[in-house]
């Protein structure tokens, strides 16, 4: 049979893309229809997403997809937690804030005054991140904008709304708001009420695989896609789509979805909401098929991309391949950081902040570019190690292989360091796990793939994967981790 084609609109923190996936019984080919930059805008003292620009990029991509032969359906995913607000006329109220905006810095304690942190965790199972939707809404409290709002839509839901005219809240992404009940998978009316939020803001939950709606006629016309082309609800949280496409073939796997962030953890059938998992700041985000993504956010390759951005502005070389080659030769464990130190969150001069961290902790700051890159990658590998070991311990599961997916899987040195630090084999790839997860959920909704295991077999059988065996000295990695509290 001729394989069917699906379009995945996948928005990342630095770029968006529309990918076309062709799926057959033993094929899964992915091609890029269109890629566009995602450039956040600092304006009026806050950091925003240019969400109309992103929507335009999606339309351009769908036009390319139409030109390449059309698609059976469309799915949309993006990063989590951020939202747009619609007024009673269904119009967008202002530009969505970027989660790296600093306005939420001090809001958490205000929320905890009403709902203690322990209780918030017990109900929602969500790790504490200062930018979780619940804290963004607390920061917006009393604003004219929130007062005028009738509907809250997370970013992919907002794009789906513009594509189809329909309104819904996709489950995997809704689970990152800290307003969803981890047990029931529905909005927590109790939390919403106690936090003084209007319950009407929160649309009905949609599940991955459901139909969101057909493209609006005007969108079909503008893109050249067939009238009535369905938009399928996918795992709209990019990390959930990436985990859905992890090419694992047995239960004892850990994963690291590695891009701007490193999301490291396990796939579980039930949430773990113990005091110990709260203390370790593990999250229980929803995955497909009733699974839970038991993981922790690690600052990820943001540390490297912000470093390169700074170097570029300074006129220093930023070609990654030679920098990685030099980093591989630099002295080991010369300087280490805790990647999750709060001072690394905001955009800005990353090398200066890393140098300051090193000096403050009695280390010599990395002496040159190679040492800086090595410091970042070793520190990330140590965080990968600490996080996956904690995930296994907190959930009582064994770990025998680690799948590293996403853009970071192209970074040879990081993959090898991760295998060495964990003392476990690392399977790297696919790079485009998120787009593949998006496409496979659509293919399954069309009856082309049976179940989650079949999705993963298809990825494993068709995508380029690289295998890293652990080498090096486990004890040296453990000792290095202890230096920065990453035991
Ligand atoms: C990764 C990601 C993470 C989420 C962060 C902010 O792209 O979606 O899972 O914690 O972005 O939304």
Residue 69: HSE in the Cβ half-sphere, 13 Å Cα cutoff: 9
* Banded pLDDT at 125 (limits 50, 70, 90): very high
Is the CB–ligand 1 distance for residue 10 below 6 Å? no
What are the tens digits of pLDDT across the range 391-426? 999 999 999 999 999 999 999 999 999 999 999 999
Q: Is 363 close to ligand 1, i.e. is its CB under 6 Å away?
A: no
- Exactly one of 82, 101, 238, 420 is catalytic; which is it? 238
pLDDT digits (tens, 9 = 90+) for 241-278: 999 999 999 889 999 999 999 999 999 999 999 999 99
49-73 pLDDT per residue, tens? 999 999 999 999 999 999 999 999 9
3-class DSSP assignment, residue 135 = helix
Has residue 1 got a pLDDT over 60? no
CA 446, distance to chain mean position in Å, is 25
Among candidate residues 61, 187, 178, 167, the one with its CA nearest the CA of residue 119: 178
Contact predicate 459/41, CB 8 Å: no
Q: Is ligand 1 within 6 A of the CB of residue 83?
A: no
Cα(410) to centroid(ligand 1), Å: 19
CA of 262 to the centre of ligand 1 (A): 9
> Mind giving me the DSSP string for 2-18?
PPEEEEEEEE-SSEEEE
Q: Is 319 a known active-site residue?
A: no
> Is 297 touching ligand 1 by the criterion CB < 6 Å?
yes
Name the maximum alpha-carbon separation found in the chain: 64
Q: Whose CA is nearest to atom 9 of ligand 1?
A: 239
| DSSP state letters, 392-412 | HHHHT----EEEEESGGGG-H
A 10 A CB-CB count for 163 gives 26
Q: Show the beta-strand stretches assigned E in 160-313.
A: 169-170, 205-206, 211-214, 230-232, 253-258, 262-268, 283-286, 292-298
* Ligand 1 touching residue 241 (CB < 6 A): no
Tell me the C-alpha distance between 226 and 71, whole Å. Answer: 8
Pairwise CA distance, residues 125 & 119, whole Å: 9
**φ and ψ at 175, to 5 degrees?**
-70, -5
Which pLDDT value is given to residue 326? 98
> What residue owns the CA closest to ligand 1's atom 7?
79
* Length of the chain counted residue by residue: 487
**Exposure of 300 in the CB half-sphere (CA atoms within 13 A):** 20
CA of 332 to the centre of ligand 1 (A): 30
Average pLDDT over residues 154-158: 99
Rounded to an integer, what is the distance from CA 233 to the centroid of its chain? 17
285-319 residue pLDDT tens:
999 999 999 999 999 999 999 999 999 999 999 99
SS3 107: coil
DSSP single-letter state for residue 378:
H
Among 80, 136, 299, name the best residue to mutate to test ligand 1's pocket (greatest count of ligand atoms within 8 A of Cβ).
80
Q: Which two tokens stand for residue 142?
A: 């009393």
- The response to whether residue 202 sits with its C-beta less than 6 Å from ligand 1 reads no
Q: What is the per-residue pLDDT for 437?
A: 98
Share of the chain above pLDDT 70, in %: 99
Confidence check: pLDDT of 471 > 80: yes
pLDDT on residue 487:
85
Residue pLDDT, tens place only, 14-34: 999 999 999 999 999 999 999
Ligand 1 pocket residue status of 81, Cβ below 6 Å? yes
What contacts 190, CB < 8 A, 6 or more positions away?
Answer: 123
CA separation for the pair 274, 355 (Å, rounded) = 36
CA distances from 486 to 376, 379, 390 (A): 14, 9, 10
Phi and psi at 377, nearest 5°, equal -70, -40
* Cα–Cα distance, 418 to 384 (Å, whole number): 7
Q: Dihedrals φ, ψ of 147, to 5°?
A: -60, -35
Across the chain, mean pLDDT equals 97
Mutate to test the pocket of ligand 1, among 238, 286, 292, 387 (most ligand atoms within 8 A of CB): 238
Residue-level pLDDT at 48: 98
- Please state the ipTM of this predicted complex: 0.98
Q: Is the CB of 80 under 6 A from ligand 1?
A: yes
Residue 235: per-residue pLDDT: 98
Tell me: pLDDT of 3 over 70: no
Ligand 1 centroid to residue 12 C-alpha, Å: 9
For residue 468, the CA-to-ligand 1 centroid distance in Å is 26
Tokens of 23: 């799926």
User: How far apart, in whole angstroms, are the C-alpha atoms of residue 242 and residue 255?
Assistant: 10
Answer whether 79 contacts ligand 1 (Cβ < 6 A). Answer: yes
Span 176-191, mean pLDDT?
96
Residue 340 alpha carbon to ligand 1 centre in Å: 14
**Ligand 1, atom 11: closest residue by C-alpha:** 79
The protein residue whose alpha carbon is closest to atom 8 in ligand 1 is: 79
């Amino acid at each position: 049979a001729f394989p069917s084609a699906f379009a995945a609109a996948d928005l990342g923190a630095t770029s968006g893309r529309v990918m076309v996936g062709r799926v057959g019984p033993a094929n899964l080919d992915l091609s890029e229809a269109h890629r566009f930059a995602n450039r956040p805008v600092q304006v009026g003292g806050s950091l925003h997403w240019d969400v109309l620009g992103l929507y335009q990029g999606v339309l351009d991509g769908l036009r390319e997809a139409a030109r390449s032969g059309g698609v059976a359906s469309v799915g949309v995913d993006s990063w989590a937690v951020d939202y747009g607000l619609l007024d009673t006329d269904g119009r967008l109220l202002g530009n969505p804030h970027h989660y790296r905006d600093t306005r939420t810095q001090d809001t958490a304690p205000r929320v905890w005054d009403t709902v203690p942190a322990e209780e918030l965790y017990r109900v929602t199972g969500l790790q504490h991140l200062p930018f979780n939707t619940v804290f963004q809404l607390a920061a917006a409290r009393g604003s004219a904008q929130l007062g005028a709002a009738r509907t809250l839509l997370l970013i992919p839901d907002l794009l789906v709304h513009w594509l189809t005219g329909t309104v819904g809240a996709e489950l995997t992404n809704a689970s990152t708001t800290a307003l969803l009940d981890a047990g029931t998978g529905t909005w927590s009316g109790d939390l919403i009420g106690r936090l003084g939020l209007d319950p009407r803001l929160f649309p009905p939950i949609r599940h991955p695989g459901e139909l969101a709606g057909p493209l609006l006629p005007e969108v079909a016309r503008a893109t050249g896609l067939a009238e009535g082309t369905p938009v399928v609800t996918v795992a709209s949280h990019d990390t959930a789509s990436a985990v859905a496409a992890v090419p694992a073939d047995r239960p004892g796997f850990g994963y690291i979805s590695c891009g701007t962030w490193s999301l490291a953890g396990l796939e579980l059938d039930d949430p773990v909401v113990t005091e110990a998992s709260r203390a370790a700041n593990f999250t229980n985000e929803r995955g497909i098929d009733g699974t839970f993504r038991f993981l922790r956010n690690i600052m990820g390759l943001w540390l490297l991309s912000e470093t390169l951005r700074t170097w570029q502005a300074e006129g220093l070389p930023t070609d990654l391949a030679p920098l990685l080659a030099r980093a591989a030769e630099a002295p080991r464990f010369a300087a280490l950081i805790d990647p999750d130190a709060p001072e690394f969150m905001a955009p800005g001069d990353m090398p200066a902040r890393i140098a300051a961290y090193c000096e403050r902790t009695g280390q010599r700051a990395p002496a040159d570019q190679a040492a800086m890159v090595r410091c970042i990658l070793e520190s990330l590998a140590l965080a990968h190690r600490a996080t996956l070991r904690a995930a296994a311990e907190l959930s009582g599961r064994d770990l025998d292989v680690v799948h590293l997916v996403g853009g970071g899987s192209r970074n040879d040195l990081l993959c090898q360091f991760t295998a060495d630090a964990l003392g476990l084999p690392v399977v790297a790839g696919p790079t485009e796990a998120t787009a593949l997860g998006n496409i496979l959920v659509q293919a399954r909704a069309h009856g082309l793939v049976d179940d989650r295991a079949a999705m993963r077999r298809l990825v494993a059988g068709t995508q380029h994967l690289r295998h890293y065996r652990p080498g090096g000295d486990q004890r040296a990695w453990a000792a290095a981790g202890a230096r920065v509290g990453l035991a």
